[in-house]
Structure 1
Amino acid sequence: MTHSNNTVLTRLNQLQDNGRQQLICGGLKGIEKESLRIDKNGLIAQTEHPRALGSALTHPSITTDYSEALIELITPPFADVRDTLNALQDIHQFVYDHLDSEILLSSSMPCGINGDDSIPIARFGSSNIGRMKHIYRHGLWHRYGRTMQAIAGIHFNYSVPEALWPVLHAQEQSTLTLEQFTSASYFGVVRNFKRIGWIILYLFGASPAICKNFFKTRPSLMGQFEEFDKGTLYHPYATSLRMSDIGYKSKNQGNLKIDYNSLTGYVDSLCKAITTPYPEYEKIGVLVDGEYRQLNANILQIENEFYSTMRPKQIAESGEKPTLALKRRGVRYVEMRSLDLDVFQHIGISEHTARFVEALLLTCLLKDSPPFTEHDHQINNANQLAVANKGRQPGLLLRQAGKQVPLQDWAHDIVDSMLPVCAILDQGLADKPYEAALNYQRQRVDNPDLTASARILSAMRETNQPFARLGLQQSAEHAQYFKQQTLDSETTERFNQLAEQSLAKQKDIESQQQLPFDEFLKHYFAQTQL
């Protein structure tokens, strides 16, 4: 018996004793999905973000991430995850209706790139906030290279049902204010997810291989991989190389001691990283020959530079620092960032996956969540790297509660612990979709060959294709799917209006008198008032 099952769903037991368990249903789910625009030859697009899609600076649903070619599609949050996925489908359809000959790459790991210079950095116009977003990305280039920033993924945003908080607050007789209790509970979710979040990589990881050209700017990293073919490197049992140390992780961030035990600790430790100079970045310079190379020379330029599998979030007002938004208004939702794009799904994620993730996050809320120690951080990171690099390896052992346990045993415990949550979420639903999602993933715990990462490698072997060609083939199939679909006129008109409104909003921002940029930055980083 592992620690996972020993940590009982204390909160759920109390809710059931009081007949209030249905309050866990109806939390809001939103999805952010990144994809590289590529041309018909599979090369990263060199064109600007299509104007017909609106302004990347101000559009609520269609923007860009690091690169001008790295489009990001954002759904509103919905209580029913089917509504979330339908919204993602509609946004995809509208985008495809305006892509001309380009398509969206279906894989997380980029292939059609030729060194850093082939990756155009996103531009957001001439306003101070637009310039700041562009310069921040320049800083990422100088710090980590552009290639790493072209990796795509899916972020799953989840907020607990608002009606649940006062009930939990009362039944635990908390002396905290409701807002403080809510934030503390969200940090409990984050800690529990970090303990067991490796299961996301095992089940849904879809980046077991990498194109060799990914390493053009970092050839020294190629030696750690096996060669699949002339164009592809891989680890035989890898699940998500996107989430390994060749993906987003960096040496200086590996030494950060971000505190997940409280909102105050989290904000203070993140602010320290944003205000502490880093010698290697000081060598890059900030303002060189009249041009900004980065926003500052600190360990992190801004909060978003800190990569984490999960972020506690509050909706920031325009120009407001994310840490200040958290400090002022507490945690509003969590952003889970571990999902690779599912190359076999035309919108990059399935309903099974979304329901499993929701149930897992609720389970993380309802379980006890002891504070982290520094040792816990090390163990959690080691488990994540092990699963990313070799998660399907037979007999793989992970570290848990001071001992080594087989991955499959622990995974079964996690799935079993989700059963009561899924049963409640399924009440009133004839098809029991949450239980079905759980059973679907249980099969993948029992048989690693059914996971997306294994299926990708199997398809590459069966068709004798490199990773790049498989990704391009899947991308073309998804593009063809959307070309055969049509968006109803009402939805099309709504998206057209959103695009026009976003362009007008950017124009309005740029027409207003701007502070000198140096002064704007100074004001932005000086924000400390509650």
Structure 2
Amino acid sequence: MTEFINRLQKVASNPQAFKKAGRGIERETLRFTLGGSLSSRPHPVGVGSALTHKYITTDFAESLLEFITPVSNDVDTVINQLEDVHHYTVSHMGEEKLWPLSMPCFVIKDDDITLAQYGESNVGQLKTTYREGLKRRYGSVMQVISGVHFNFSFSTQFWDELFGEQTEEDRQSSVSDAYFSLIRNYYRFGWLIPYFFGASPALCSSFIQGRETSMEFESLGNTLYLPYATSLRLSDLGYTNDAQSDLKISLNSVDEYVEGLNKAIRTPSAEFAKIGLKDGEKHIQLNANVLQIENELYAPIRPKRVAKSGERPSEALERSGVEYIEVRSLDVNPFSSVGVDKDQVRFLDLFLTWAVLTDSAPMNDGEMACWKDNWNKIIEKGRKPGLELQIGCQGEKLTQKAWAERVFDDLLLIAKEMDSVNGDDEYQQTHQRLTAMIEDPELTISGRLLAETKKGGGIGKIGCDLAVQHRETHLNHQYSFYTKEELDAEVERSILAQKEIESNDKQSFSEYLEDYFSYLK
């Protein structure tokens, strides 16, 4: 009996171990106009304060909406919550629509993009200044690439069955170690996510205007594509950060990770120092370090803990260990009106459970480079028949199909256990649909989208057509989790909360920044 099966049987002995898993989703999407241009309007006033609203906010840009669900224990619930907040928001957007793709289109230059605005409070100004720094460091166009983030936590019952009785201190340590084991396995095998769900095999030519690339694109009008690509969003052209490539933050323990993160936010950057901190009286970045703040760290997965007021993410991890993980490798699913579907959530349930129950040795920088090479192969040519990936750094190779089949043998065992608990066969159905994608790569989201793009006259046309369809879906939606009254009340609460924050500020913004970054001294 393998250790994996032994661990699976342990946790499956308690039905609540799987039923009480926590899930939350953050979905990003650009507002755009009938003509296909990026919206120049401010955040819709009818949806409340972007600073304080629980479910509807903005990301980098004023036009880049972000929808956030609370934690729930049910797949249907998290999708219903997303559908409700999409419906509410679209109902307050007039004729504007939501861009259904990860890669932006019809954005000509950085100055077309208005940074997200959060009011006059110091915390609001900090958020906008941070974005000003991102703009000047990496350019605004890269920052409006959209994605879906999936937050996941295992239940207390899961850990109880896996570890048995422990002191609180030992449990915290065991859970953190388990999450970091998961993270390392995610780097090893997480290329399955862009293989199945990558949704950016093509982009508008305007996106790379003035940028050098070694990619051998084929063209279709104003559309550029790679014939076997899955997720250009995750490629060097997409949401990546060259300045961070030398950070080498360890994934072997929470202590090593926090130590690396603390070093990164204290490491000066000669390149970013050239930008300066102010333009006249205006702050244009928070500092000139490699990372302005910890959130600037680009990573396909992050260990997380809910932070207390005024606490940095690394301080929260140092205080009480890892509480959940944030998966950041999902492109926006263009075929779902909310950017993600139940099959994707169920696959992540299966895969993350497998990743935590499967042996996961410590990882050095050399091994990390090998796994990143696998990701890059899948990102640029993942649907190519016979594509070979490395197995570690030992020289052994395996095709993406053969490797996926190996993992899927284990995933089926988990799917059967989860279905047994739920009294249905939903996880096995998901497993079956994805197995078909292993056999035929053109059934993947990237395969389907590229076929539609070639047939439909380019990625811009496909994006606009899907946006029109999704807008109708949103407008016709009937509330299934929230009520209109609840969401109206949250709008009012958020507006009052922002006003209260602004009225309580007693420092100038410069004084606030001085205090905020006192830990760097």
With normalisation by structure 1, the TM-score equals: 0.94
Q: Are the equivalent residues in 2 in contact too, given 1:200–1:338 (CA < 8 A)?
A: yes
Q: Are the equivalent residues in 1 in contact too, given 2:220–2:454 (CA < 8 A)?
A: no
Count, aligned residues:
519
Residue matched to 1:332: 323
Residue matched to 1:280: 271
Aligned with residue 123 of structure 1, among 117, 124, 143: 117
Aligned with residue 349 of structure 2, among 334, 338, 358: 358
State the Cα deviation string for residues 5-59 of structure 1 (Å, max 9, x = none): 987345224446xx34752332011110000001111111110001111111111
Deviation at 1:113, TM superposition (A): 1.1
The whole-number CA distance in structure 2 between the counterparts of 1:471 and 1:9 is 44
Residue matched to 1:468: 460
Deviation at 1:421, TM superposition (A): 1.3
Residue matched to 1:511: 503
The whole-number CA distance in structure 1 between the counterparts of 2:104 and 2:90 is 19
The whole-number CA distance in structure 2 between the counterparts of 1:384 and 1:6 is 27
Residue matched to 1:236: 227
Deviation at 1:298, TM superposition (A): 0.5
Residues 358-377 of structure 1 mapped to structure 2, 5 A cutoff: 358-377=349-368
SS in 1 for 2:460: helix
- Calculate the aligned-residue CA RMSD, in Å: 2.0
Q: Are the equivalent residues in 2 in contact too, given 1:104–1:479 (CA < 8 A)?
A: yes
Aligned with residue 28 of structure 2, among 34, 44, 51: 34
Deviation at 1:428, TM superposition (A): 4.4
SS in 2 for 1:427: helix
Q: Are the equivalent residues in 2 in contact too, given 1:237–1:392 (CA < 8 A)?
A: yes
- The list of structure 1 runs, each at least 4 consecutive aligned residues, that deviate by more than 6 angstroms after superposition, is none
Deviation at 1:319, TM superposition (A): 2.9
Aligned with residue 435 of structure 1, among 419, 428, 431: 428
- Label 1:495 to 1:377 Cα distance change in 2 as closer, same or farther (>3 A): same
Q: Are the equivalent residues in 2 in contact too, given 1:324–1:527 (CA < 8 A)?
A: no
Aligned with residue 382 of structure 2, among 374, 391, 397: 391
Residues 2-151 of structure 1 mapped to structure 2, 5 A cutoff: 8-15=4-11, 19-20=13-14, 23-151=17-145
- Which letter does structure 2 place at the counterpart of 1:443? A
Residues 481-500 of structure 1 mapped to structure 2, 5 A cutoff: 481-487=473-479, 491-500=483-492
Unaligned runs of 5+ in 2: none
- Label 1:243 to 1:6 Cα distance change in 2 as closer, same or farther (>3 A): farther
Q: Are the equivalent residues in 1 in contact too, given 2:14–2:157 (CA < 8 A)?
A: no
The whole-number CA distance in structure 2 between the counterparts of 1:67 and 1:359 is 34
1:306 to 2:302 alignment: no
The whole-number CA distance in structure 1 between the counterparts of 2:55 and 2:10 is 39
State the Cα deviation string for residues 284-332 of structure 1 (Å, max 9, x = none): 1112322211101101111111111111111123332111111112211
The whole-number CA distance in structure 2 between the counterparts of 1:414 and 1:100 is 46
SS in 2 for 1:178: helix
Residues 188-207 of structure 1 mapped to structure 2, 5 A cutoff: 188-207=181-200
- Which letter does structure 1 place at the counterpart of 2:486? R
Q: Are the equivalent residues in 2 in contact too, given 1:113–1:213 (CA < 8 A)?
A: yes
The whole-number CA distance in structure 2 between the counterparts of 1:431 and 1:515 is 57
- Which letter does structure 1 place at the counterpart of 2:68? I
1:501 to 2:493 alignment: yes
1:181 to 2:174 alignment: yes
With normalisation by structure 2, the TM-score equals: 0.96
State the Cα deviation string for residues 229-277 of structure 1 (Å, max 9, x = none): 2311111100000011111112211222011111111111011111100
SS in 2 for 1:219: coil
- Which letter does structure 1 place at the counterpart of 2:507? L
Q: Are the equivalent residues in 1 in contact too, given 2:121–2:505 (CA < 8 A)?
A: no
Which sits farther off after the overlay, 135-144 or 396-405? 396-405
- Label 1:39 to 1:515 Cα distance change in 2 as closer, same or farther (>3 A): same
Residue matched to 2:439: 446
SS in 2 for 1:249: coil
Deviation at 1:187, TM superposition (A): 1.0
The whole-number CA distance in structure 1 between the counterparts of 2:369 and 2:338 is 34
Unaligned runs of 5+ in 1: none
The whole-number CA distance in structure 2 between the counterparts of 1:120 and 1:351 is 33
The whole-number CA distance in structure 2 between the counterparts of 1:384 and 1:174 is 39
The whole-number CA distance in structure 2 between the counterparts of 1:321 and 1:514 is 22
- Label 1:489 to 1:98 Cα distance change in 2 as closer, same or farther (>3 A): farther
